[in-house]
Amino acid sequence: MGYLKGFGSVTVLNGHIHQTFKKVEGNVTFHTATSTAFPQPAPGSAPKPGPMKVAPEILPTVLGITEVNYVESHHSLAVVDAKLG
């Protein structure tokens, strides 16, 4: 984080995290991509580590794809999460 303090605004994009979250710490915004496989429960909510067991009929609603659009001269990224189903 110390290296990033010199910038006015920083966006950190994470993929393959298995959980979607957005967090802001000072001038740094963290955004995770929606997982395309093996969704994980929220931290501390599962009895043990590992992927969630999800019924096949609702699986597409917990998986997805994240698209990031950048347009020069705009001050922010357009981050769009889409569910597979």
Q: Domain-by-domain residue ranges, the chain?
A: 2-83
Residues 9 and 63: their CA atoms lie apart, in Å, by: 29
Residues 27 and 8: their CA atoms lie apart, in Å, by: 6
Task: Give the model's pLDDT for residue 51.
Answer: 74
Mean pLDDT of 62-78: 79
Condensed to tens digits (0 to 9), the pLDDT of residues 45-61 reads 888 877 778 888 888 88
Tokens representing residue 45 in the block: 């909510």
Condensed to tens digits (0 to 9), the pLDDT of residues 11-33 reads 888 776 666 678 899 888 888 87
Give the strand pairing for 28-32 and 78-83. unpaired
From 12, 15, 14, select the one nearest 25 (Cα to Cα): 12
Q: Classify 25 as helix, strand or coil.
A: strand
